[in-house]
Chains A and B, each alone.
Chain A
Amino acid sequence: GAGVSQSPSNKVTEKGKDVELRCDPISGHTALYWYRQSLGQGLEFLIYFQGNSAPDKSGLPSDRFSAERTGGSVSTLTIQRTQQEDSAVYLCASSLVGTSGAYTQYFGPGTRLTVL
């Protein structure tokens, strides 16, 4: 499809385990964002990648969270030693930069993470 895709759609894990969440942005989009959405809440910014620039990691809640973007396309968000408070929907978005409407971010369906 032409939209942002994320996998898995659902992930249940035990406390203390590591998890990896994947995002495939829209082809040609240079910017990629990760957000976290807790139940009934708005979206919390986690990290932003733009081209070859150093990522903006200022939203990551702890050093257990990390993300990488390989080849300027696919991104993986890794959470180490998961805690119950990490349970949330993790949303990925991508956008063009440098054109009109550059900040129009298109979202994937999200990965629902449940930490038992």
Chain B
Amino acid sequence: GQQLNQSPQSMFIQEGEDVSMNCTSSSIFNTWLWYKQDPGEGPVLLIALYKAGELTSNGRLTAQFGITRKDSFLNISASIPSDVGIYFCAGLRETSGSRLTFGEGTQLTVNP
């Protein structure tokens, strides 16, 4: 199926640094979700966005639903070692019912 273009594929940062990752598509999405997946576990929802232009925070995480409805970004501020994991964006298109389309993930490594 169609994948979202998620970048970067991987990031290596120092503890305390800020992180930014994004997803883009040629299609319009009605909902954007950001998930984090730890090894051996299923993805856990971090932030859900339902309206174009929406900016939502969850602790040190901030995500925005792009105005064009074709992109979204996730920022993590003041990273800590437990932020390590794979971050996935997921989008819901009007024509796809409840089928989520996932990005390929951003592998984040935080060095203490």
Contact = CB atoms under 8 A, between A and B. Distances in A.
Interface of A: 4, 31, 33, 35, 40-45, 48, 50, 56, 58-59, 91, 93, 95, 97, 101, 103-110
Given A44-B1, A103-B100, A109 B42 contact: yes
B45 A106 contact: yes
Interface in B1-42: 1, 3-4, 6, 31, 33, 35, 40-42
Given A97-B98, A103-B92, A43 B31 contact: no
A33 B101 CA distance: 12
A59 B99 contact: yes
Interface of B: 1, 3-4, 6, 31, 33, 35, 40-45, 48, 88, 90, 92, 97-105
Interface of B is mostly: strand
Contact of B45 (A4, A48, A105): A105
A110 B39 CA distance: 11
Contacts of A108: 42
B105 A42 contact: yes
B104 A42 contact: yes
A103 B33 contact: yes
Given A35-B102, A43-B102, A110-B41, 16 more contacts: A4-B42, A42-B3, A43-B90, A44-B102, A45-B1, A45-B100, A48-B97, A48-B98, A56-B97, A56-B99, A95-B98, A105-B45, A107-B44, A108-B42, A109-B42, A110-B42
A106 B104 CA distance: 18
Contacts of A40: 105
A106 B42 CA distance: 9
Contacts of B4: 42
A-B CB proximity, top 3 nearest = A107-B42, A42-B102, A43-B102
